[in-house]
Structure 1
Amino acid sequence: MMLGKTQNIIRALGRRIAAWRGRHLVSFVDEDPEQVESGKIYVIGEGGHPWYAAMACPCGCGETLKLAMIEGSRPRWSFVRHWDDTVSLKPSVWRKVGCKSHFWVRDGRIDWC
């Protein structure tokens, strides 16, 4: 029981540090958020089965990006949640319309291509 409490404290501290460093944090939700916050990547799904991820485009254009995570979808993204609730996405995100941003999300950081 003590180990679980310690892990929660460490994770909370990691989240604060990651947010302070400008990293994107993961948030698991059952349905689309009404407003997508900058700095968050929402993983939408049920029962541990992700359907898609949603995030504000990091270029600042104001668009909400939705990335399919359902098996058989093309293209399809996968994610890794890290100990501090930062997230990595694979493959890169490349918008073919609008702002045409192309970037990776690695350990909550946006790495521009």
Structure 2
Amino acid sequence: MKHLALQHVQYVPKQLESGILYVSREFAVAAHLCACGCGNKVSVPLGQAEWTLSERDGRATLRPSIGNWQLPCRSHYLITDGRIDWATGWSDEQIAAGRQTEERRREAYYKAREPRLGFAARIWAALLKFLGLRK
């Protein structure tokens, strides 16, 4: 497979067609059949802490790359302007390191969005924790 056509949907269909990238903005997900042709469904969550989708002239770009490490094919590619750009495979060590990096990125993203407690609220939370009334 060399290209994926972009199709906006509300719900991702149960049966996917080869060569189509289905995108549900409402449910923040993109799905397609693996570009290697193995027939496996690949779904990725969309969002600032996950994969990002951009469009230009009706063609989609997804970032970061798609690494199908859990599939038997272990294919790895980028989707850029609807084009499949094949990437090198990763070792088990590279996969583990990549997953750790993704998790740290997500944690940093969500931590930066946590509401900041004022001084009195922090004292109250510490007291409740000390008394064993809150974790």
TM-score (ref. length: structure 2):
0.58
Which is bigger in relative contact order (C-alpha 8 A, separation at least 6)? 1
Q: How many equivalent pairs are there?
A: 85
Q: Between Structure 1 and Structure 2, which shows a larger proportion of helix residues?
A: 2
Counterpart code for 2:82: G
* Structure 1 segments of 4+ aligned residues over 6 angstroms from their partners: none
Please say if residues 38 and 55 of structure 1, whose CA atoms lie closer than 8 Å, have aligned partners that are also in contact: yes
Cα deviation, residue 96, structure 1: 1.3
RMSD: 1.5
Please say if residues 31 and 45 of structure 1, whose CA atoms lie closer than 8 Å, have aligned partners that are also in contact: no
The answer to whether structure 1 residue 90 and structure 2 residue 67 are counterparts is: no
- 1:31 is aligned to 11
Q: How does 1:1-113 map to 2 (within 5 A)?
A: 23-46=3-26, 51-72=28-49, 76-83=50-57, 85-98=58-71, 99-113=73-87
For structure 1, which runs of at least 5 residues remain unmatched after alignment? 1-21
Cα deviation, residue 71, structure 1: 4.7
Q: Between Structure 1 and Structure 2, which shows a larger proportion of strand residues?
A: 1
1-structure distance, mates of 2:3, 2:67: 19
Please say if residues 23 and 86 of structure 1, whose CA atoms lie closer than 8 Å, have aligned partners that are also in contact: no
Q: State percent identity of aligned pairs.
A: 34
1-structure distance, mates of 2:39, 2:59: 22
